[in-house]
Amino acid sequence: MTTDSTTAATSSAIPSPMEEKQSQCPSKENEEKLLKLKEVIDTLGNDVRTLKTTSPDSKDKIKSLIDQMLAAKSEYAQLNNGIGVDGKPVEDKKKKKKGGGKKVEEEQDPNSVNAKKKLAKKAEKAAKKSTIKSSK
């Protein structure tokens, strides 16, 4: 009988996969908020598109709409456990950019890296040739 009480105590401390899934799913109240936010995001996106096509001169209005849309998207992701409107996990773009700008530059311009390697090989070959000629 003591094993039953210990298993009951440990099973209540460890959530079952079903309990974990339920805790990750949004509640009914959150679902309603998420639907409303999605509608707001969609309408703001449509407004931005129409403003860009009809009057591209109103940059201030477009910027304010985009700021509102981004705020709604971040609120949506917070309510949806970090999952954005598009169904993908939301990542902080500032964190992405911090990690080594030099590597990005090298990846963007591989020709300069290859050119440096070629020059180094040519110099090495020339040095070998000069040592061979001088030894004869």
Place of tokens 């401390």: 13
Find all residues with CB under 8 Å of 52, minimum gap 6, and list them: 62
- Residue 15 is classified by DSSP as P
Per CATH, domain 25-90 is 2.60.120: no
Q: Each residue of 94-129: pLDDT tens digit?
A: 555 555 555 544 455 667 778 888 888 888 888 888
Q: Each residue of 18-40: pLDDT tens digit?
A: 444 444 555 778 888 889 999 99
Token pair belonging to 62: 């477009």
**pTM of the predicted model, to two decimals?**
0.49
